[in-house]
Chain A
């Protein structure tokens, strides 16, 4: 029963459950709204862009980020907490030989605090099923042609961990500041459906 996570029935179930918990006095709806609003206000892909830019300019940070992202994020005032439970983040690095792509084939697990709200296509059955079996074709649909000899690694966030891609720093950017570098990064680059 791993494929019954379609968005609309789950959303309806969650609404019903929330209403029931409120009716029984087990949760305070204002408290729940406050938690969700506070989390949503801080959840932005700009956070992910800053992480990438810092990793590009600071080799020590890059190493700490890849070794254990949860311990490195506080250096930028960020964390994987803030939701209802803290989550483990794995940052996976693109290289000349390896390109990484993230997906959650079971539902739509995604590091919201660093990437912001997930795009609709990320939650679609089409993306979730195609990217694990034919990632090169999916990337082509995004207008992203990888060299044939680049190895593709797909990461399925099917359990408790979340993933973010560290894209390769574009050529010809040696003179740019950290803020200018951050402005080059896109949300799709953090998912792996774009080069940067």
Chain B
């Protein structure tokens, strides 16, 4: 499966608040982070919840706390499906 993003790439998360299940938490929406690794290929949770199986690359994306919350010097790393991301 082709990978759209590589380790070190800067990516922005989607701002969409869908009316179906998703695994992109509110606090991580519309923010810029850095791909720090790949986390396997898994069925996209948003579609699985609708009975559709579509496997897709998942990325480990690290965000600075200041980017997410406007304060803090820690980082937060999430596993995000390719559909949640765009190139920054």
Report A's interface with B, CB cutoff 8 A: 1-3, 88, 105-106, 132-136, 151-161
Bound complex: CA A132 to CA B63 (Å): 11
Question: How far is the CB of A17 from the nearest CB of chain B, in Å?
Answer: 14
Tally of A-B residue pairs with Cβ under 8 A?
A: 80
Given A160-B79, A161-B79; A154-B74 close (CB under 8 Å): yes
Which residues on the A side are within 8 Å of B5 (C-beta)?
Answer: none
A sample of 12 cross-chain residue pairs with beta-carbon separation below 8 angstroms, ordered by A number, consists of: A2-B22, A2-B24, A2-B25, A88-B39, A132-B69, A152-B73, A156-B76, A156-B77, A156-B78, A158-B78, A159-B58, A159-B81
Contact B73 A151 (CB under 8 A): yes
Report B's interface with A, CB cutoff 8 A: 17-28, 39-40, 42, 45, 58, 62, 65, 68-69, 71-81
Question: How far is the CB of B1 from the nearest CB of chain A, in Å?
Answer: 15
Which residues on the B side are within 8 Å of A1 (C-beta)?
Answer: 17-22
Contact B74 A160 (CB under 8 A): no
Chain A residue nearest to B70 in the complex (CB) = A133
Chain B residue nearest to A135 in the complex (CB) = B74
Given A1-B21, A160-B58; A153-B74 close (CB under 8 Å): yes
Which residues on the B side are within 8 Å of A156 (C-beta)?
Answer: 25, 28, 76-79
Which residues on the A side are within 8 Å of B39 (C-beta)?
Answer: 88, 159-161
Question: How far is the CB of A193 from the nearest CB of chain B, in Å?
Answer: 14
Question: How far is the CB of A163 from the nearest CB of chain B, in Å?
Answer: 9
Which residues on the A side are within 8 Å of B79 (C-beta)?
Answer: 156-161
Question: How far is the CB of A136 from the nearest CB of chain B, in Å?
Answer: 7
Which residues on the A side are within 8 Å of B26 (C-beta)?
Answer: 2-3
Contact B40 A160 (CB under 8 A): yes
Q: A159-B58, A160-B79 are in contact. List 13 more A-B contacts (CB 8 A).
A: A1-B17, A1-B18, A2-B26, A105-B27, A132-B76, A133-B72, A153-B62, A153-B76, A154-B74, A156-B25, A156-B79, A157-B79, A158-B79
Which residues on the B side are within 8 Å of A135 (C-beta)?
Answer: 72, 74
Contact A88 B40 (CB under 8 A): yes
Which residues on the A side are within 8 Å of B73 (C-beta)?
Answer: 151-152
Which residues on the A side are within 8 Å of B22 (C-beta)?
Answer: 1-2
